[in-house]
Amino acid sequence: MTHRPDDAAEAGRRLRADARRNRARILAAAEEVFAEKGESASTEEVAARAGVAIGTVFRHFPTKRDLLAAIMKELRTRLVDEAAALSADAGPAAAFFDYFAFMVERAARVRTVLGLLAAEGMGAEPGDQIRDLEQVVGELLEAAQRAGAVRPDVALDEVMAILTATCQGALHGAWDDDLRRRTLGIVFDGLRPRA
Amino acid sequence: MTHRPDDAAEAGRRLRADARRNRARILAAAEEVFAEKGESASTEEVAARAGVAIGTVFRHFPTKRDLLAAIMKELRTRLVDEAAALSADAGPAAAFFDYFAFMVERAARVRTVLGLLAAEGMGAEPGDQIRDLEQVVGELLEAAQRAGAVRPDVALDEVMAILTATCQGALHGAWDDDLRRRTLGIVFDGLRPRA
Amino acid sequence: MTHRPDDAAEAGRRLRADARRNRARILAAAEEVFAEKGESASTEEVAARAGVAIGTVFRHFPTKRDLLAAIMKELRTRLVDEAAALSADAGPAAAFFDYFAFMVERAARVRTVLGLLAAEGMGAEPGDQIRDLEQVVGELLEAAQRAGAVRPDVALDEVMAILTATCQGALHGAWDDDLRRRTLGIVFDGLRPRA
Amino acid sequence: MTHRPDDAAEAGRRLRADARRNRARILAAAEEVFAEKGESASTEEVAARAGVAIGTVFRHFPTKRDLLAAIMKELRTRLVDEAAALSADAGPAAAFFDYFAFMVERAARVRTVLGLLAAEGMGAEPGDQIRDLEQVVGELLEAAQRAGAVRPDVALDEVMAILTATCQGALHGAWDDDLRRRTLGIVFDGLRPRA
DNA sequence: TATGAATGAGATTTCATTCAT
DNA sequence: AATGAATGAAATCTCATTCAT
């Protein structure tokens, strides 16, 4: 009937090569467009930017909401993956703070990170992606606390709250690199143990 | 054209009063509606909530954008006024942190505070309202720094950035009172001088 | 919010004169258009035929389904009213057969009579219009049976079934006047008492 | 181009068999789907029900209209064939009335019988199928009239009209078995000679 | 001045049909 | 010959804004 869309792709079922290419293109275009104009941007513009017809967008994402949800999911996956790289490259203290800064820097560019962090009820389907963003941050946090780089009395939900807030601030406030660095400095000071 | 000119004059005065009342009602309704559904909510819904016809909304605010801008302005005025009360009631240290907390608590309720802080290009018309929000915060900050309650190396733009960020986080994250308190605790620690 | 449409008009609440005029125009245009092209005809064509913009149709009938339902309702009312006239003018025997013939003749022109008789689940809201079509036919039938013009063992549901069927046949078959007369002759013979 | 021509030939035969099977499947699925949802049902749904891809449907029937026409033709053939069986099994009187009842019962299930009877301009291609439905009914009618079971003054077009009408009524009215029997009783009485 | 109906551009969604794989 | 992705015109519905009453 209606093309058993997108989740099929997610679930790993086979898609034709060109379909997969288009799906990726659409996601990329959508991320750009929604990043620039907010989620009230039109689906038609997404299609145009992706270089496909409007119907193709619909085939992959039957609803605008589905498209938005797919962007979030994709982005979350990417961010989680990048966390792994960071924690491999650096010691636990650096890993935590680097990841925090990294996400905020991302947010300054990509408006959609917002929705990702705010979760906004968009089907997170816990379990279908074992390592969720919050879990990743939790791991980095614990490691940093064990290493004495973060106050032991700070809980994960507070960290997520501050991370979210900082990302949103960075985005909407259009901070430049310097302001971001100084702002993060204050936040990080709040997280570090008192001398 | 009116039969009894005296009555006409009286009616005119009465109408102006009505108009003022309507303006206020519309602003209040708009603040509620946009707070709940974001700024993509429809003008018709604002009219309905205000109990007036759609035409009346457009008579007072020729454009949706104008309506949004008016909300911001009204809110800014209110917040600035409240700052005066706080700094009168408390010492400089308390005043700064109280005001910060006060704004974040507001943000948790009113989505529009966001736009206010983010400025979003909506006609701030600097000067037509002598004391702007940023200036108020600046004064509180300076006082708190002189009193030794805030690190002297913290600049106003950083404070505004963190304030904005925390407000946005509080709103979109739907923090409860406890989480808000703990989160602010961390931020405030970052702002206080090291022992 | 969304214009408290159509039922307002139905319920007799005041509508502006021009609005009432447009509502009537739209209904008339819709009846024509759907009669000609079936219910898959486009709302836009209805708007064009009525000489209004598409949004006006939407204001009165928020959904295509609502528009269809309104046509049915309007038509039912008209038919029921016309029954009263017939039973006043003629004796009971003539009244019944005349009404039957009258409806079939109508059906030959108006495709929508179909849906009316078939009821198709479109909100009949029993009670909000005390005398429904079936009831009217029932009254005419009873009177005709008391007068000995219709077999006493014929039940109302059979009559409605034959009436519906004949209407649909007349419509889809595009019967001419002669064929309709002869066909009704056979049906009426089946309804009359055996000599 | 094929490497082994023998296999190619064999494959060709196999493919033709597959194709025939697919054609039949599609027709069956289409009959079901259009019966349930009317002819505005989507071609994709037909494909899904048939278990083939949408492209396959269009390979066999280049146009939706062609598909509809094919259903009609297929159905007509089936109904005509079944007439032969009936007139062989029973006397002429029974054959006519049985066939009439049989078609109405069919119509109660299959929405497409409607279109068949109404002809709707869909390529009947007279002559390519020597015995048409109307002709079959005509033969049964004549036989029944010769046997004195049907009034001699009834013409074929009237019978077709009543038959069509009753089929449509049965379909759209969703008559149950009992109502259908009683309704047909009245119609048949109208067709029988007066005592 | 208030009302609320009308406008019409634009957004989302549907679906018959084409075409690369 | 089958598949199913892509197309794009058209349909439905939304909503900021205008204007007659």
Do C166 and C104 touch, CB atoms closer than 8 A? yes
Chains D, B in contact: 3+ Cβ pairs under 8 A?
no
Percent of chain D whose predicted confidence (pLDDT) is above 70: 79
Q: Which protein residue has its CA closest to C1' of E20?
A: A18
Residue with tokens 């759209």: D172
A120 pLDDT exceeds 60? no
> According to the model, what pLDDT value does residue D6 have?
44
Mean pLDDT of A155-172: 90
Do C60 and C23 touch, CB atoms closer than 8 A? yes
User: Which chain B residue's Cα is nearest to C3?
Assistant: B44
> According to the model, what pLDDT value does residue D155 have?
96
Copy the structure tokens of residue C24. 């009537």
> According to the model, what pLDDT value does residue A113 have?
55
A48 pLDDT exceeds 70? yes
Check whether residue C20 has its CB closer than 7 Å to nucleic acid strand F.
no
D141 alpha-carbon distance from chain centroid: 19
Of the candidates A155, A162, A186, the beta carbon closest to that of B191 is on A186
Phi, psi of D40 (to 5 degrees): -90, 0
Instruction: Give CA–CA dist D34/C187, Å, rounded.
Output: 30
Nearest to C132 by CA among C117, C147, C121, C143: C117
Instruction: Give CA–CA dist A163/A133, Å, rounded.
Output: 12
Q: Which protein residue has its CA closest to C1' of F3?
A: D53
Give me Rg for the CA atoms of chain A.
18
User: Which chain B residue's Cα is nearest to C1?
Assistant: B45
Residue type, A87: S
Of the candidates A172, A179, A191, the beta carbon closest to that of B168 is on A172
Mean pLDDT of B43-48: 96
> According to the model, what pLDDT value does residue C120 have?
45
Q: Which protein residue has its CA closest to C1' of E10?
A: A42
Tens-digit pLDDT profile for residues B94-144: 999 999 999 898 877 776 666 666 554 444 444 445 457 888 899 999 999
> According to the model, what pLDDT value does residue B155 have?
96
Q: How confident is the model at residue B46 (pLDDT cuts 50, 70, 90)?
A: very high
Residue type, B181: R
Do D109 and D150 touch, CB atoms closer than 8 A? no
Do A132 and A80 touch, CB atoms closer than 8 A? yes
**CA A53 to C1' F8, whole Å:** 7
> According to the model, what pLDDT value does residue D111 have?
64
> According to the model, what pLDDT value does residue A15 have?
56
What are the chain D neighbours of C117 within 8 Å (beta carbons)? 172-173
> According to the model, what pLDDT value does residue B131 have?
55
Cβ-defined contact of A161 to B154 (cutoff 8 Å): no
More confidently predicted of A123 and C139: C139
Nearest nucleotide, CA B40 to C1': F15
B18 alpha-carbon distance from chain centroid: 25
D176 pLDDT exceeds 50? yes
Phi, psi of B125 (to 5 degrees): 40, 65
> According to the model, what pLDDT value does residue B171 have?
79
CA separation, residue C70 to residues B13, C120, C181, D27 (Å): 46, 13, 31, 36
> According to the model, what pLDDT value does residue A49 have?
95
Q: Is C2 on the interface with B (CB under 8 A)?
A: yes
Max CA pair span of chain A = 65
> According to the model, what pLDDT value does residue C110 have?
66
D123 pLDDT exceeds 80? no
Residue type, C76: R
Mean pLDDT of D85-99: 86
Q: How confident is the model at residue D27 (pLDDT cuts 50, 70, 90)?
A: very high
Compute the mean pLDDT over every residue in chain D, rounded to the nearest whole number: 81
Q: How confident is the model at residue C23 (pLDDT cuts 50, 70, 90)?
A: very high
Copy the structure tokens of residue D116. 């068949």
Check whether residue D155 has its CB closer than 7 Å to nucleic acid strand F.
no
Cβ-defined contact of C190 to D186 (cutoff 8 Å): yes
Instruction: Give CA–CA dist A169/B171, Å, rounded.
Output: 12
Copy the structure tokens of residue A94. 């650096």
Do C104 and C184 touch, CB atoms closer than 8 A? yes
Give residue numbers, 21 to 40 of B, with CB < 7 Å from strand F: 40
> According to the model, what pLDDT value does residue C114 have?
57
D28 pLDDT exceeds 50? yes
What are the chain A neighbours of D42 within 8 Å (beta carbons)? 1
Residue A86: partners with Cβ closer than 8 Å, 6 or more residues away: A95, A98, A99, A102, A140
Range picked from A100-109, A152-161, B163-172 for highest mean pLDDT: A152-161
- Which domains does chain D possess? 1-62 (1.10.357.10), 68-195 (1.10.357.10)
Q: How confident is the model at residue A160 (pLDDT cuts 50, 70, 90)?
A: very high
What are the chain D neighbours of C40 within 8 Å (beta carbons)? 40
Tens-digit pLDDT profile for residues B148-159: 999 999 999 999
Long-range contacts, A75-78 (Cβ 8 Å, 24+): A75/A31, A75/A110, A75/A112, A75/A113, A75/A116, A76/A116, A76/A129, A76/A132, A76/A133, A77/A129
Copy the structure tokens of residue B149. 């309650």
Q: Is B42 on the interface with C (CB under 8 A)?
A: yes
Give the DSSP letter of residue C193.
Answer: P
Instruction: Give CA–CA dist A193/B186, Å, rounded.
Output: 11
Do D187 and D162 touch, CB atoms closer than 8 A? yes
What are the chain A neighbours of D50 within 8 Å (beta carbons)? none
D65 pLDDT exceeds 70? yes
CA separation, residue B119 to residues A96, B40, B76, C31, C147 (Å): 32, 18, 11, 53, 84
A185 pLDDT exceeds 90? yes
Mean pLDDT of A69-73: 86
Residue B134: partners with Cβ closer than 8 Å, 6 or more residues away: B156, B160
Compute the mean pLDDT over every residue in chain C, rounded to the nearest whole number: 81
Instruction: Give CA–CA dist C122/C133, Å, rounded.
Output: 14
Rounded to a whole number of angstroms, the distance from the CA of C187 to the nearest CA of chain D is: 6
Tens-digit pLDDT profile for residues C113-161: 555 555 444 444 444 444 578 888 999 999 999 999 999 999 999 999 9
The gap between the terminal CA atoms of chain A, to the nearest Å, is 65
